[in-house]
């Protein structure tokens, strides 16, 4: 196997692991956040607007972790800097 094939294979495997592992944490965090928000709304229905607003801000922050993992995996697949280095030699 040549260097380009090894780099391509390692990039695809690493991108898959990044997306797979990087989406588990945010999914669990979002599920727990929604469960806690629903529990809070059930206990204090008057504060629904505040809880909902805070929930959406928190969900956006949690989801950014999964988006970063997605961006890293796309960089590894489509714009891998190691390929340019190997091709230039």
User: Among 74, 77, 69, 72, which residue's Cα sits nearest to residue 8?
Assistant: 77
CATH 1.20.20.10 assigned to domain 3-81? The reply is yes
Label residue 31 exposed, middle or buried (CB < 10 Å: 0-12, 13-18, 19+): exposed
pLDDT tens-digit series, residues 18-42: 999 999 999 999 999 999 999 999 9
In tens, the pLDDT along 57-86 reads 999 999 999 999 999 999 988 888 888 787
Helix spans in 1-89 (H): 3-22, 24-43, 48-78, 81-88
In which region does residue 2 sit, left (phi positive, over 0), alpha (psi from -120 to 50) or beta (all else)? Answer: beta
Note the pTM of the prediction, 2 decimals: 0.76
Using CA atoms, how far apart are residues 14 and 22, in angstroms rounded to an integer?
11
pLDDT of residue 73: 92
């Amino acid at each position: 196997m040549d260097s380009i094939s090894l780099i391509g294979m390692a990039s695809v495997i690493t991108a898959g692991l990044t997306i797979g592992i990087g989406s588990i944490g945010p999914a669990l965090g979002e599920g727990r956040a929604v469960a806690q928000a629903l529990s809070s709304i059930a206990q204090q229905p008057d504060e629904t607007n505040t809880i909902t607003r805070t929930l959406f801000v928190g969900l956006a922050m949690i989801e950014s972790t999964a988006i970063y993992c997605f961006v890293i995996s796309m960089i590894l697949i489509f714009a891998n800097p190691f390929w340019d280095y190997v091709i230039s030699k």
